[in-house]
Amino acid sequence: MSDPDESARPPASLLERLRADPVRAPEHLALAAADQFGPPAAAWAHRQRNVFGKHPVELGEMARKRHANLASAEGAAAGVGGLVTLVPDLVALAWLQSRMVFFIAGGYGWDPRDPMRPAELLALTGLYADPAGARVALDGAGASVAEHWVGSKLQRDEAVASKLLKMVGKSGAKKVAGKLIPGFAIAFSAVSNRRDTNALGKRATGFYGGTVAPMYRDAMPQSQLPR
């Protein structure tokens, strides 16, 4: 996998983009991830299949396990700051999990550059019931139309956090509280980040591996199906 430690870091400008439109923070993040990760995920998958002869299941597991390890390391580092680093930590984790989904898709032969990949990412996180609804939101229609925000930085951070908590699988109050206890947050974040990333990775391998998405596959044009 091509330099995952470098590309797994979110761009410095991403948090400000999310604060500017916190209502659609997951959508903005998914689109940015598609731009960032689509091409390298496609190149990685092509090389692994055609040069090293890797099987799709093996590639999916490689991507899932690698990103779960990175999520654990990211959680341990960010857990030092407690509340101060909560929002940046959520952005970093959502970015890393998004990267994982694009690499898993590529591993199973789905084109990571296809415009449906960010929609599937949002559906896999549970933010939308299906990829079609997520794609409508990504196109600027439906229930996620951007709203104009004029609140304080704290209010914007709270709004961003409320959206990203569900996206990364941390919607429960206990999961959030554990990240805010000094000292304990380091170990808690490492364990919970790994667990939540693994859970998303398993949903993604099931989806792209064909055990969750047969009806979705049947509705897609042949040109968009994995090769």
Which is higher by pLDDT, 148 or 203?
203
Report, as an integer, the average pLDDT of 32-57. 96
208 and 106 Cβ atoms separated by less than 8 Å:
no
User: Of 36-45, 84-93, 150-159, 218-227, where does mean pLDDT reach its minimum?
Assistant: 218-227
30 and 121 Cβ atoms separated by less than 8 Å:
yes
- The confidence band for 218, taking pLDDT boundaries of 50, 70 and 90, is low
Q: What is the pTM of this model?
A: 0.84
| Residue 83 in this model has a pLDDT that exceeds 90 | no
Residue-by-residue DSSP string for 63-127: HHHHHHHHHHHHHHHHGGGGGGGHHHHHHHHHHHHHHHHHHHHHHTT--TTSTHHHHHHHHHTTS
- The confidence band for 213, taking pLDDT boundaries of 50, 70 and 90, is low
pLDDT 10s digits, 143-195: 444 455 557 888 888 888 889 988 998 765 444 444 444 443 554 467 788 89
Report, as an integer, the average pLDDT of 63-85. 71
Report, as an integer, the average pLDDT of 195-224. 80
